[in-house]
Amino acid sequence: MMNNFQIVQHLKHLKLSGMAENLELRLLEAQNNGLSYSEFLGMLLEDESEKRTNRKIKRLIHQAGLEHAQTIENFEFSFNPHNAHQIVLKGESYRKKFRQLNEKI
């Protein structure tokens, strides 16, 4: 039977660094919450997927030559304060409603 160190080494060899970084945390979480094997594996896979997605976004932003990612919080509304701000807030409102509907499904 492999110990955690060996498992982490295999994960790194397979280029699954997101899973390797969170293995200890997820093992503790699975033990404390009585998670099934499939729930435990699912969480590790989500960690890996999230890490890859974040890495891809960072790489694409860098390749695009953007200085930094634009977010609603740091967006400059001064060019047309009323209209632009209302449009962005309305869009955010729709995204929140969409997320809430998806969570109910």
Could you tell me the residue ranges of all domains in the chain? 1-69, 72-105
Residue with tokens 């699912």: 42
**pLDDT digits 0-9 by tens, 16-45:** 999 999 999 999 999 999 999 999 999 999
Which two tokens mark 94? 């729709």
Residue 85 and residue 77 in contact, taking contact as beta carbons nearer than 8 Å: yes
86: Cα separation from own chain's centroid: 28
pTM of the model: 0.61
Question: CA nearest 75: which of 66, 67, 84, 83?
Answer: 84
Angle at 47 between CA 42 and CA 49, to 5 degrees: 90
Higher-confidence residue: 5 or 86? 5
Average pLDDT of the residues in 54-81: 77
